[in-house]
């Protein structure tokens, strides 16, 4: 069955939502994983947390919208995906919840053990989703056991094949490097230096793992009927950007961050192009592949969703852009002192610039 314009449009929109999530939440994951490595003192760790404090929860909205759009536009895709990947998605959700709680509770007590426990919660709560998202999307593209009725027939071990694990390592290392570069751009002094030093080491590793995963993806395509030209072009672009980022990390953090952003976009675009026109690929039989046409909602539902998206999406994008603009300043250990929230930091900056008390409080 051929897909319609609206089905293709919503597949494209869902892909864009996932790309936005991985670019924005990707550096959140990286910063979270590096919290204890780049922050040596409580003030430095507070600076690391404040570097993403105003935006991390907004970045997660992209995931919520992507999941909601999938449920509304392609309910069969949503049902098969969330039932088959139930345990993996539960682990991701649990990690995201624990990480969010840790951000809120870390500074509530001065006790060293209290803070250390929540710091490790942030580290693990960032690393686990960074790994499992790669595993999940590698499985979606590569194929999982699905029967004729669209039901997942495998178990957890079926999701942990070599290709899927390589995909997980690719996203884990790429998000780590992406976050290290972002942290180098958002902080000052010792935290900045440590973050950029980690970026220079981690970026070549991320490039090597990412290129290996992309090469396997193209080989996998060839074995399933031939390499798709558009997917291959995106894979090559991602490989070039990964290589460029590994070189730029030693010279220009701004351009390196742009390269890692482009690499994430190109990598996942290659996966989405590879997946189309399917929503889920069955490793049991090609006849059991779940196509977008079979998984889609009615044409009327897609029309209503399109009208709502056109009306609301610009406001959401403008609001998030405004948030990044307001909190665009670098953060250092000397800036935060004993400040509790990013809003306190803005207030301190305002008082300092107006000739009142200095921004430094610790």
Write the pLDDT tens digit of every residue in 6-38: 999 999 999 999 999 999 999 999 999 999 999
By the 8 A CB rule, do 99 and 32 touch? yes
| Cα–Cα separations (whole angstroms), residue 353 to 92, 177, 358 | 42, 34, 8
Structure tokens that stand for 75 in this block: 């309910």
Residue boundaries of the structural domains of the chain: 5-346
Question: Residues 270-312: pLDDT tens digits?
Answer: 999 999 999 999 988 888 999 999 999 999 999 999 999 999 8
* Burial bucket for residue 317 (CB in 10 Å: 0-12, 13-18, 19+): exposed
SS3 291: strand
| Rounded CA separation 144/169 (Å) | 19
* Residue labelled with tokens 């290709």: 163
By the 8 A CB rule, do 309 and 299 touch? no
By the 8 A CB rule, do 53 and 196 touch? no
Model pLDDT, residue 361: 30
Residues of the chain with pLDDT under 70: 1, 223-226, 335-362
| Rounded CA separation 196/359 (Å) | 25
Model pTM? 0.90
Model pLDDT, residue 352: 52
């Amino acid at each position: 069955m051929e897909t319609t314009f609206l089905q293709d449009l919503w597949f494209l929109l869902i892909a864009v939502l996932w790309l936005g999530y991985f670019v924005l939440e990707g550096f959140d994951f990286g910063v979270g994983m590096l919290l204890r490595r780049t922050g040596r003192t409580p003030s430095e760790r507070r600076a690391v947390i404040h570097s993403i404090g105003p935006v991390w929860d907004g970045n997660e909205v992209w995931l919520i919208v992507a999941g909601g759009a999938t449920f509304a536009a392609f309910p069969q895709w949503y049902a098969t995906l969330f039932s088959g990947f139930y345990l993996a998605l539960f682990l991701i959700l649990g990690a995201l919840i624990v990480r969010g709680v840790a951000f809120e509770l870390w500074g509530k007590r001065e006790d060293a053990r209290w803070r250390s426990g929540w710091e490790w919660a942030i580290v693990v709560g960032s690393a686990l989703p960074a790994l499992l998202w790669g595993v999940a999307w590698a499985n979606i593209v590569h194929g999982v056991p699905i029967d004729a009725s669209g039901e997942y027939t495998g178990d957890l071990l079926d999701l942990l094949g070599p290709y899927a694990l390589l995909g997980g390592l690719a996203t884990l290392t790429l998000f780590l490097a992406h976050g290290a570069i972002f942290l180098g751009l958002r902080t000052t002094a010792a935290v900045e230096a440590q973050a950029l030093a980690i970026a220079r080491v981690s970026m070549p590793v991320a490039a090597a793992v990412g290129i290996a995963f992309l090469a396997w993806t193209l080989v996998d395509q060839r074995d399933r009927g031939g390499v798709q030209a558009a997917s291959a072009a995106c894979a090559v672009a991602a490989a070039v950007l990964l290589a460029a980022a590994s070189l730029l990390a030693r010279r220009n953090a701004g351009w390196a961050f742009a390269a890692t952003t482009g690499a994430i976009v190109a990598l996942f675009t290659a996966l989405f192009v590879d997946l189309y026109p399917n929503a889920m690929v069955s490793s049991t039989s090609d006849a059991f592949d779940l196509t977008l046409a079979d998984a889609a909602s009615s044409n009327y539902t897609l029309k209503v969703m399109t009208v709502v998206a056109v009306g609301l999406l610009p406001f959401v994008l403008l609001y998030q852009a405004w948030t990044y603009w307001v909190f665009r300043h670098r953060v250092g250990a000397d800036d935060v002192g004993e400040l509790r929230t990013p809003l306190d930091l803005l207030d301190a900056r305002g008082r300092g610039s107006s000739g009142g008390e200095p921004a430094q409080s610790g």
